[in-house]
Amino acid sequence: MHSEQAHIQDVVAGLTEQLSNRESQQTPDPHNQRRAVQAVFANTVNNFQLFYQAAIEAGFSQSRLLSQKMNGLSDVAGLNNYQTEAMVFNTRFQQYPFVIALCESTVEVQFIYSLAIKFNLPIRVRAGGHDHEGECSGDNTILIDVSRIKHFSYNDKDEVATIGAGYRFYQLTPELAKYGRMIAHGTCATVGLTGFIQGGGWGPWTRKHGMCCEHLVGATVVLGNGDVVEVSETCHREILWALRGGGGMSWGIVTELKVKTFELPDEIHRFEIVWNALTKQKKNTFIAKSQCPTIDVLKAWEKVIGADNTGDLLGTNLKINAIAKESVDDSTPYDELYHPCTMYGYWQGSEEALREFVAKEFASTQDKNKQPKLTSSRVAFKQKGKAKGSVQYSYDHTLLSNWARESLADQTIPLHDALVKEKHAFTPDYDAPAPHKITSKLVAKKGLGVQGYKQLLETLTSPLIQANNASLGLFSYVTLGAIVGDYYHDLKESKKALGVSFPYRDALYTIQYQTWWNESIKDKLEQQNNSVYVDTNRAMDWISASRNAQIEGTYGAFISFKDASIPTPVYFQQNYQRLVDIKKAYIKDHYNHLRTRKTII
């Protein structure tokens, strides 16, 4: 092996010298210029071979160091382990790292990272793999995967959970529920906590408990020079501030999180309210029922989330589907448009109280002849334990159902009708990887105003949307995620408080533009001979047009809904320069090894 490596090095050195001599000629030769670049890449490939050899010799398990040549069998017919582990959540992206290192401890992460830097190889870091721009992986990189770091403990004295960086929500929530505790997790079951909390951490608890980053009290981090530090409010507090919503990877490689928990309520219901449901008009064409003007639904939802007496609504978002411009009369005023709308919510309390709340707060959206459809299910509650006098908490995975994913099935059967018959109103959304594109804005504290409403609904009534998209499994919509609520109404911090780097505490809600296509696994991965691709380019153009549209009352963008076309400072607003200063001063990453397209530079 050593002689083979020495031979490769000699060949690369000779080729580099030869090409350098040729480059000294006064007349450039395009062929030689290309060869010179290839010679540099050849040196990188050789460095990877040296990296791989050094890692194995140091004792890193070969079964957890996957490359295109050394990979092993997987449990998926036709694929090896490297191919299965290379897939990320957004299947529009398929990168091929030099190696995928499946690390199981902080020491292993430190070792792999330091070795990659030694051999001048770029790195990427992946926990849940849900980066919407695929920046958690990359071609010709060392991919440090922390998804196998899964230790957990809970301290009832300080109510803090210590959580390994590899936990995803569907794995973590049952562990917390054993203690009757919870964190402000997200809505998608397979999202990893580490990237989620560094992005800010919006979810179904936000109105009651704020963003998840508000509760991060400590972390274990591998810095840019390979040092490992324990971060807390009293030690390396500037790094902790940056980790609280300053985006992933910029602040080192996180291997452990310490998160303050809260007590689970006695009873929680998850619910959906549907207005203007899509109905099949003719073959392959769906239109919205003319039930309630979209603007009335939007205003009622905004009023509810902004109120200071709706604390039992723990969290909510409102999904509004885009509709084809051709299906709407050009003379139709914006306040007479009908888009399919679905409100998702967490309710603390009984179903009876929930239904009274909906009847009162959304009375303006209801008509005797056209009632919106309300579906609810009790998904968390206290129950007697096996031991005398003990209490257990039921915390169902249906809490993580598809708040933000449209389903082809929703268009062809009554909403969850089959599941309701089984007394199980919602099916868990385990987020199968799928192709998609996302962008975002946020609504400022003052709200949209008349012009903002008009502009928002205009983006959702577009010639780029086709009337037959739903029949192909192509869905384009916005989800509006409530931020305002009891937590931020009541937030009073001293001047000495550390605070968070998440810059949108004062925002009313997020606007997340989304387009996803196909629901079946086969169709999601099929790149040719798939009817959905007739219209996906138009849907992607709709995302771009929506990103660039001026909507009065909006600003910024949310890094967890990453769109690489948005300049990085836009994501972090007033906190951007402080984040830059922290990276320079404390992360010890002088050559910017901890970088992707949207990291802090």
Residue 279: give its domain's CATH number: 3.40.462.20
**CA 357 remoteness from chain centre:** 31
CATH, residue 122? 3.30.43.10
HSE-CB of 476 using CA atoms within 13 angstroms: 30
Is residue 261 within 8 Å of 160, Cβ to Cβ? yes
pLDDT of residue 520: 67
> How far is Cα 425 from Cα 74, in angstroms, rounded to an integer?
35
Specify which of 20-24, 25-29, 167-171 reaches the highest per-range mean pLDDT: 167-171
**CA 80 remoteness from chain centre:** 27
Is residue 124 within 8 Å of 86, Cβ to Cβ? no
pLDDT of residue 50: 97
Using pLDDT thresholds of 50, 70 and 90, give the confidence band for residue 461.
very high
> How far is Cα 185 from Cα 206, in angstroms, rounded to an integer?
9
Specify which of 208-212, 270-274, 368-372, 525-529 reaches the highest per-range mean pLDDT: 208-212
Is residue 489 within 8 Å of 307, Cβ to Cβ? no
Structure tokens at 47: 């460095």
Structure tokens at 9: 């090095």
CA angle, 68 then 74 then 77, to 5°: 105
Number of separate domains in the chain: 3
Do the domain assignments include residue 600?
Answer: no
Do the domain assignments include residue 516?
Answer: yes
Average confidence (pLDDT) over 132-143: 97
**CA 279 remoteness from chain centre:** 30
Do the domain assignments include residue 281?
Answer: yes
pLDDT of residue 288: 83
pLDDT over 90 at 8, yes or no: no
pLDDT over 80 at 509, yes or no: yes
| pTM, 2 dp | 0.91
Mean pLDDT for the chain overall: 89
> How far is Cα 450 from Cα 459, in angstroms, rounded to an integer?
15
Chain position carrying tokens 């192509």? 474
Lowest mean pLDDT among 109-113, 409-413, 441-445: 409-413
> What is 156-180 written as a DSSP string?
TTTTEEEEETT-BHHHHHHHHHTTT
Is residue 203 within 8 Å of 345, Cβ to Cβ? no
Do the domain assignments include residue 56?
Answer: no
Structure tokens at 166: 């590899």
Q: Are residues 77 and 136 in the same domain?
A: yes
Nearest to 405 by CA among 422, 420, 372, 427: 427
Stretch (H or E) spanning 164? strand 160-164
Q: Are residues 393 and 516 in the same domain?
A: yes
What one-letter code names the amino acid at 221? V
pLDDT of residue 352: 96
Q: Are residues 133 and 203 in the same domain?
A: no
> How far is Cα 342 from Cα 365, in angstroms, rounded to an integer?
12
Domain boundary among 107, 128, 145: 145
Percent share of the chain, pLDDT over 90: 70
pLDDT of residue 389: 66
- Coil, strand or helix: which one is 477? strand
Q: How far is CA 189 from CA 35, 430, 516, in A?
A: 47, 5, 18
Helices (H), 251-350: 294-306
Do the domain assignments include residue 550?
Answer: yes
Q: Are residues 257 and 279 in the same domain?
A: no
Q: Are residues 255 and 318 in the same domain?
A: no
> How far is Cα 276 from Cα 297, in angstroms, rounded to an integer?
10
CATH, residue 250? 3.30.465.10
Q: Output 187 or 429, whichever has higher pLDDT.
A: 187
Q: What are phi and psi of 327, to 5 degrees?
A: -90, 0
Instruction: Please give the residue range of the domain that contains residue 136.
Output: 62-145
Q: Output 123 or 188, whichever has higher pLDDT.
A: 123
Q: Are residues 431 and 557 in the same domain?
A: yes
Q: Are residues 492 and 561 in the same domain?
A: yes
pLDDT in tens, 377-436: 898 898 877 777 678 888 876 666 666 565 433 433 333 333 334 333 445 555 678 889
3-state percent helix, strand, coil for the chain, nearest multiple of 5: 35, 25, 40
Percent share of the chain, pLDDT over 70: 88
Nearest to 278 by CA among 439, 468, 58: 468
CA torsion through residues 203, 207, 208, 211, sign: positive
Lowest mean pLDDT among 326-330, 545-549, 587-591: 326-330
Q: Are residues 106 and 231 in the same domain?
A: no
Do the domain assignments include residue 40?
Answer: no
The DSSP secondary-structure symbol of 288 reads: E
Backbone dihedral region for residue 266 (phi beyond 0: left; psi -120 to 50: alpha; all else: beta): alpha
pLDDT of residue 388: 72
**Residue 394: Cβ-neighbour burial (10 angstroms; 0-12, 13-18, 19+):** middle
Q: Are residues 322 and 235 in the same domain?
A: no
Do the domain assignments include residue 501?
Answer: yes
Lowest mean pLDDT among 171-185, 310-324, 460-474: 460-474
Q: Are residues 81 and 230 in the same domain?
A: no
Average confidence (pLDDT) over 355-381: 88
> How far is Cα 320 from Cα 317, in angstroms, rounded to an integer?
10
Using pLDDT thresholds of 50, 70 and 90, give the confidence band for residue 155.
very high
List all residues 6 or more positions away from 303 whose beta carbon is below 8 Å from its beta carbon.
361
> How far is Cα 276 from Cα 21, in angstroms, rounded to an integer?
71
pLDDT over 90 at 227, yes or no: yes
> How far is Cα 144 from Cα 112, in angstroms, rounded to an integer?
7
Q: How many CB atoms lie within 10 A of CB 124?
A: 23
Q: Are residues 250 and 298 in the same domain?
A: no
Using pLDDT thresholds of 50, 70 and 90, give the confidence band for residue 11.
low
- Coil, strand or helix: which one is 399? helix
Q: Output 131 or 369, whichever has higher pLDDT.
A: 131
Q: Output 250 or 425, whichever has higher pLDDT.
A: 250
The length of the chain, given as a count of residues = 601
Q: Are residues 297 and 231 in the same domain?
A: no
Is residue 561 within 8 Å of 512, Cβ to Cβ? yes
Do the domain assignments include residue 53?
Answer: no
Q: b/e per residue, 530-566, with b = 16+ CB within 10 A? A: bebbebbebbbebbeebbeeebbbbebbbbbbbbeeb
pLDDT of residue 338: 95
Nearest to 147 by CA among 193, 203, 199, 185: 193
Domain boundary among 125, 145, 165: 145
Structure tokens at 20: 């350098």
Average confidence (pLDDT) over 524-546: 86
Domain boundary among 145, 170, 197: 145
pLDDT in tens, 38-82: 998 999 999 999 999 999 999 999 999 999 998 888 888 888 999
